[in-house]
A and B are shown apart, each in its own frame.
Chain A
């Protein structure tokens, strides 16, 4: 074996294996008017996850619903101690409609864990999460990890109305300071969010910011990050086919060193540097 070969292979040998496994559904119930919680009984080998990673789900096929490709879904919770894997999702299309038909005891084929998760660097003590709607699901494992690492966490959660605000109790139980904002109460505007974040920076300071999804929040955090020199990360979505890096379906454009580069959301992401991200 040549030296060149030895230099190149460890990259893949160090990468954790990707597993395709049949899990069993423990429950799959609505948690409010829009979202459902899917709880799987999962083997420990797939529960060695990082916050921000995702699974690629093989949706069940019926007479009326026939999704063909797998559907990527961010992990809402992974609990190796009790052997559970959780997903929080909203029924929006054929894939999620099919997943909503799953009942306790059914088998469900999942592939993962996949992608690169969030970082919490040692000097990042005061963390800020900002999420809109179901985006909070992607950030939930990050909140748990922040608690484990004993970091201070503030979560700004925005939604249409109180009834669509998700799992705030969960974040509170983890010791986070939760700031709910709603369209209904007129508190969810970018301007209001901006002044709240400025307040937090002036008060105790923020070492890192995390978000996902929303373009408005992305732009706001990019502005705040540049102004105060605060690093951040964003979990992004893109339609996927293979989910493991082979097909080049899920590319998005990023700003890097003054140039536009395409990267695969499934492989180089789904978590990316906040300032490099470009909204769509």
Chain B
């Protein structure tokens, strides 16, 4: 009997495949049975209603895409009334992604969303499209630790910190989040990027810049997931450019305990179902009986011990 379960802190997921925030909604229930997934992760909500960024909000680049959606949100009350009850129809745990403009607002939202039906809170401390002045908490260890401490004090639910690739201090930020009480790290959000139309000379996104996601981003996020898994004790959830079952397996081998699939669902909406099936086939073909045997099985030997992971000069 194959064991696809994985452990994210106190939560046991029936398989390691879940959607990435912002690329999933109740609408996907029209495509497949959402209980096939290991967990459900909502689009980031804010306390207030927000309309999001100007259009165009998405553009494609070779083999990938940029987005500057900007976290449109119907607000906390609408979310509690309409969205949480919908997911009570499913066994898969509901992970609610939240964001706010300041650490105190973040903590107060975190407290107010800690309600029955919510299994864990993913704290989006890294959206490149929302924080004032374009700064995200997760770009520095100090701001990460400060906001995570407030969030930790605001809830007893598991806290997943979603990190950003827009930092030169990946492992320091990861350790700061762990130190401040995060139960897991989601690695990572999108990479700040840009595209310009050469005919009109206008940026292709209404917000000028936006986050790169899709296959082109995968090696970067995979590297970060590997670095984080090496530097912290809490589980790492890999996220970035996962489009095939081979990508899922690669992240698990790198040390991720689970993965989030995002942009690939836009191209191929039932892809996560195929990934769950593909994971079973892979384990069978390798003579493995459990996903846990795969997690962190990267053969890096001594190299990893002495490796300097692109640390900043003092």
Contacts and interface: CB of A to CB of B under 8 A. Distances in A.
A69 B31 contact: no
B269 A244 contact: yes
Contacts of A58: 267-268
Contacts of A245: 25, 27
A70 B52 contact: no
Interface stretch (A9-17, A31-39, A141-149): A9-17
A239 B59 CA distance: 9
Contacts of A1: 88-89
Interface in B55-77: 55-58, 60-65, 67, 69, 72
Interface in A231-280: 238-239, 241-249, 251-252, 262, 267
Given A4-B88, A7-B85, A248-B57, A68 B267 contact: yes
A18 B85 contact: no
Interface string A59-72: 00000001111100
Interface string B31-64: 1000000000001000000011001111011111
Contacts of A15: 30
A243 B72 CA distance: 17
Interface string B238-271: 0000000000000000000000000001111110
A209 interface: no
B72 A262 contact: yes
Most buried by B among A66, A251, A267: A251
B24 A68 contact: no
A19 to B, nearest CB: 8
B67 A247 contact: yes
24 contacts: A1-B88, A5-B88, A8-B82, A8-B86, A9-B86, A18-B30, A58-B268, A66-B62, A68-B65, A239-B58, A242-B23, A242-B266, A243-B266, A244-B28, A246-B25, A246-B27, A247-B266, A248-B43, A249-B55, A249-B56, A251-B72, A262-B51, A262-B52, A267-B27
Given A58-B267, A69-B60, A246-B27, 8 more contacts: A5-B86, A68-B214, A69-B58, A242-B23, A244-B28, A245-B27, A246-B266, A247-B22
Interface of B: 22-31, 43, 51-52, 55-58, 60-65, 67, 69, 72, 82, 85-86, 88-89, 214, 265-270
Report, nearest first, the 8 A-B pairs whose CB atoms are least far apart.
Answer: A245-B27, A68-B60, A249-B58, A242-B266, A4-B85, A246-B25, A18-B30, A5-B88
